[in-house]
Structure 1
Amino acid sequence: MSKSVPHAPTSFRELEAPQRKAFFAAWLGYLLDGFDFILITLVLTEIANDFGLSKTRAATLVSAAFVSRWLGGLVLGAIGDRFGRKPAMILSIFAFSIGSALCGFAWGYWSLFAFRAIVGLGMAGEYGSSTTYVMESWPVHMRNRATGFLLSAFPIGTVIAALAYGVIVPNLGWRCLFYIGLVPIALTLYLRRSLPEAEEWQADVGNRRNVSTSSMLFASSRRLPNAVLAIGLATALVLIFSQHTAGYGWLLAAAAIAGFIVFAVQVAGRLVPVMLAVMATVFCAFLYSWPIQSLLPTYLKSELGYSAVQVSTALTWAGLGYAVGSCVAGIAGDALGTRRAYVVGLFLSLLFVFPAFALPAGNVVLLWALLFAMQFTSQGISGLLPKYIADHFPTRLRAAGLGFTYNVGALGGAMAPLAGTTIAGRVGNLGTALMILAGTLTVVVAAIIGFDLPARIGRAFKADDEKASSAMTERNTTRAM
């Protein structure tokens, strides 16, 4: 008698209860991540006034969280690969909650820079652990939707933050906005007691030792050298992004790049050319998206003269566009393929970037519509980015591979506000600077993904063995469903 083949789910409703539960828990964690992370962009002008900072100096505080993200992605990713996706996700939420709350107690530039770096550690770990957790809990053929739906939580968090800004800051001041960061800690208690572990990680890694990134990074012979390297790398990045290079910026940048390559070799082995190529892709992706993400509130307040309430409303529409776009991107990715859907979304975004920043003050409703459409396409399509990155790594190093690759590339986000304000100083207008960065880098990223350059580089360096192993794992998982 032949066995009946179990029905493969094709929609969220058809997923099993544990799979839906895993998604909602990760989604809520990522929402709170978005809330905590975006707060600094909302209150840059208030902080600059209180601490006596220039606009460019204040913008480096946005970069502070990016300075530490590579370390959070690497260490918390390694913990996720060795001990499971769930504990890594819990540690990540705890870290960004504590860091955000501490920002409310900052007494000057450097204390706030340090506390934002703690937020970056947690955010990096949350991105890698939550995305791998959901992907490995969902069927393979629905994983674009898994990441697209999950990443919709981040802009919802930013919308809630924008609404909170409009209510709290005018009445209680900017510090009270950061104290709310303690709220996510309650979520960690629920996650620890209620969530199952990701099925694919349990099957492929489970309790086996010496098979994941932690065994490579934390081996007894490597602990001390890696700790020294991490301290040196972090110091170089702090000096670069706080603009204290004393004329040695290029030397520090070269040292940082060399340090990243050393860690990449340990994590990826033969896949290191692919990992470096994906890092470059993510770096460019952040340079097209994060100037807008980080400097839009400043642009609306300082150049268009909008009030706190008007800024809050504009950011709400932008965030909703991002959230809806992420969900649509996930559906499109499963239907058309990850890369094809990604490229289409990027080129569509160019239709809205230029009108959004050419619009003069006073056209409030049209501005809302343009911001919604722009973020729907440009930011929403980034819901496919975790799936795009994860496809390059097998399960045993997926969390650290995704977390490290994404968060090293995310240094483009650290450069974004600096690049935006620098170009604005030369062209005389922040809106024009944002158009230049977004328009140029969008085309670059579309070309990289469209021509699949990381995969081509991998084939050129004969680095396909690990990727083939990952593909085989996915095929076996699909057959077992």
Structure 2
Amino acid sequence: MSTQLEPAEPIAKGTFATAKQAFGDLFRWNQRVEITNEYGENTYVWQPPAPLRNPISLFAMLKGRDWLFFLVGLAAWTADAFDFHALSIQTTKLASYYHRSKTDITTAITLTLLLRSVGAAVFGLFADKYGRKWPMVINMLILGLLQIATIYSSTYGAFLGVRSLFGLFMGGVYGSAIAMALENCPTEARGLMSGILQQGYSLGYVIAACCNLGVGGSTNSWKIIFWIGAGLSIAVGLIRCLFPESKQFIEAKKHRKENPELYKDAGAAAFWRDCKKMLAKEWKMCIYCIVLMTWFNYYSHTSQDSYTTFLLTQKEFNNTQASRGSILMKTGAVVGGMIMGYVSQWLGRRRTMILAAFLSACLIPAWILPTTERSLSASGFFIQFFVQGAWGVIPIHLNELSPPAFRSSFPGVTYQIGNMISSPSAQIVNAIAEKTFITSAKGDRVEAYGPVMGVATAIIAVGIMVTTAFGPEKKGARFELAKVAGEGGSDENLAKKVADLERGNSIAEAEKGGDARFENVAMESKEMAK
């Protein structure tokens, strides 16, 4: 297909040159697409955006195996989000149970967020080296056990210790889940599936909030929510045991068995060598993605975490009204993430994120100024439609920006470091709002949560638009044939493969389509022969 497309110049060298090129690409309808083969070799073409297709036809492109991997990845991310929000939505109950202030209880949230980046690095690297299956199984089973351990934490100190460990293992879920769910999706369907996948986080919140309403407001009812979370996590881990490893790792294992001489230097040493090469080559991309994810995590936490408090204090709603408003807000997030992720397949990743951030900023007055439950619920729905609409593009955007052999560790680590940096976002909003007062519609002096959240969200939305406008995009990057890190990736092995092909050992088979992994090298060998 690439031979029918207009060749594009490679990504510019240098930070400023790359930013200038990326900004210019925003205003060119055709999109620069990088195609990566299994040896890490890149070519670039200008590809016209495909027209938006019927979502049903995109769903039909996924085979049964693809759906299984996607649904398990979605279930893992949803269960992970449920486990996290099981604490955040029950802060008052836990404060009463442990006889501590709500601020003391939120310390557990901060510790969880801080340690997630460590878990993302450890389990992400394991997933890139040994496969997606068992790191995820271990993560989910231990998360379930830690939910149970939280229930039996009789002291505040034990509670903090368990939640710290929870953050460590929670951090490993995101990277493995999105890699497993998206790496085998057809290119045309990735935007839609990315939007659906990301909203597992919002779906986990909605389920937790609904469960919380169902169990009531008694102090000890928090334990029921944690039992539900434990069951969900353990169930996902056990279900993952029933399915095979990702296709990439199965093929790598098969090829290693058939060609042991090509993999004699493969192993842990080769894996870490590839890690060092990746970091030396992609350190700027790492920093960019961390900055982007810091903005995005501030974006979601600032606009969501204090929303219920905003309804209770500034708008003076009762608990039932505030809960309904929060659930509708997150419902908007689920819908928006799916739709905007779908649109990104046509409009492009960066243009979609910039558009969503811009529209969310425009909606800020309608989000904080109304006084009735209906109007606030409607505006909360639509602002989160666009906030999480921008977020819906993130899983596939990070997957496409990732070095092909590190599609588990790279997104997971950059996402979780951004999450760690943004961890005090809710505390910042609360600290400023509690010291600033305005007059409510009823004439009372109330804490200014609305103005603080509005100003902060506007600043963050602008930051996202600027950072995204000058950042890279690799929409449509073809990384399906990328080799597994550490699996015979040395220059000597590549040279041997090329030599074999030149002697005709694999060209005939490649021409017949028998081994797609050799097609690119076969073509290059013919050119060399000429």
**Shorter-chain TM-score range:** 0.7 to 0.9
CA distance in 2, matches of 1:380, 1:137: 23
Cross-structure match for 1:94: 141
CA RMSD of aligned residues (A): 3.1
| Counterpart contact for 2:332–2:381, Cα < 8 Å | yes
| Counterpart contact for 1:64–1:114, Cα < 8 Å | no
CA distance in 2, matches of 1:329, 1:118: 34
Q: 1:448: how far off?
A: 0.3
Q: Among residues 406, 410, 423, which one is paired with 1:414 in the alignment? A: 423
| Counterpart contact for 2:143–2:230, Cα < 8 Å | no
Whose helix fraction is larger, Structure 1's or Structure 2's? 1
Cross-structure match for 1:290: 301
| Counterpart contact for 1:352–1:370, Cα < 8 Å | yes
Give per-residue Cα distances to partners, 1:89-114, cap 9 Å, x unaligned.
22222233223333323344433333
| Counterpart contact for 2:124–2:172, Cα < 8 Å | yes
Q: 1:302: how far off?
A: 4.2
CA distance in 2, matches of 1:19, 1:382: 23
- Secondary structure (helix, strand or coil) at the match of 1:173 reads helix
Larger radius of gyration: 2
Aligned length in residues: 412
Bigger mean CA deviation after superposition, 390-399 or 273-282: 390-399
Return the letter of the residue paired with 1:40: L
Q: Does 1:215 align with 2:271?
A: yes
Q: 1:137: how far off?
A: 1.6
Closer, same or farther in 2 for the Cα pair 1:174/1:370, shift >3 Å? Answer: same
Q: 1:476: how far off?
A: 8.3
| Counterpart contact for 2:292–2:467, Cα < 8 Å | yes
Q: Among residues 128, 132, 151, which one is paired with 1:81 in the alignment? A: 128
Q: Does 1:166 align with 2:177?
A: no
Closer, same or farther in 2 for the Cα pair 1:95/1:17, shift >3 Å? Answer: same
- Secondary structure (helix, strand or coil) at the match of 2:407 reads helix
Cross-structure match for 2:324: 313
Q: Among residues 388, 392, 396, which one is paired with 1:387 in the alignment? A: 396
CA distance in 2, matches of 1:288, 1:214: 39
Q: Among residues 276, 282, 291, which one is paired with 1:271 in the alignment? A: 282
CA distance in 2, matches of 1:177, 1:405: 30
CA distance in 1, matches of 2:248, 2:192: 17
Return the letter of the residue paired with 1:79: F
Q: Among residues 105, 113, 134, which one is paired with 1:66 in the alignment? A: 113
| Counterpart contact for 2:354–2:465, Cα < 8 Å | yes
Q: Does 1:180 align with 2:228?
A: yes
Q: 1:145: how far off?
A: 2.0
Q: Among residues 160, 176, 186, which one is paired with 1:139 in the alignment? A: 186
Kindly report which structure 2 residues correspond to 1:25-36, keeping only aligned pairs within 5 A, or say none: 25-36=72-83
Give per-residue Cα distances to partners, 1:155-183, cap 9 Å, x unaligned.
12211111111121425522322222221
| Counterpart contact for 1:80–1:88, Cα < 8 Å | yes
Q: Does 1:433 align with 2:452?
A: yes
Q: Among residues 344, 368, 387, which one is paired with 2:377 in the alignment? A: 368
Q: 1:446: how far off?
A: 1.3
CA distance in 2, matches of 1:119, 1:111: 12
Q: Normalising to structure 2: TM-score of the pair?
A: 0.71
Closer, same or farther in 2 for the Cα pair 1:189/1:148, shift >3 Å? Answer: same
Identity percentage of aligned residues = 23
Return the letter of the residue paired with 1:319: K
CA distance in 1, matches of 2:267, 2:427: 40
| Counterpart contact for 1:95–1:118, Cα < 8 Å | no
CA distance in 2, matches of 1:291, 1:277: 21
| Counterpart contact for 1:152–1:323, Cα < 8 Å | yes
Cross-structure match for 1:340: 351
Closer, same or farther in 2 for the Cα pair 1:287/1:13, shift >3 Å? Answer: same
Q: Normalising to structure 1: TM-score of the pair?
A: 0.77
Q: 1:471: how far off?
A: 4.8
Return the letter of the residue paired with 2:163: R
Return the letter of the residue paired with 2:378: A
- Secondary structure (helix, strand or coil) at the match of 2:306 reads helix
Q: 1:280: how far off?
A: 1.2
Cross-structure match for 1:397: 406
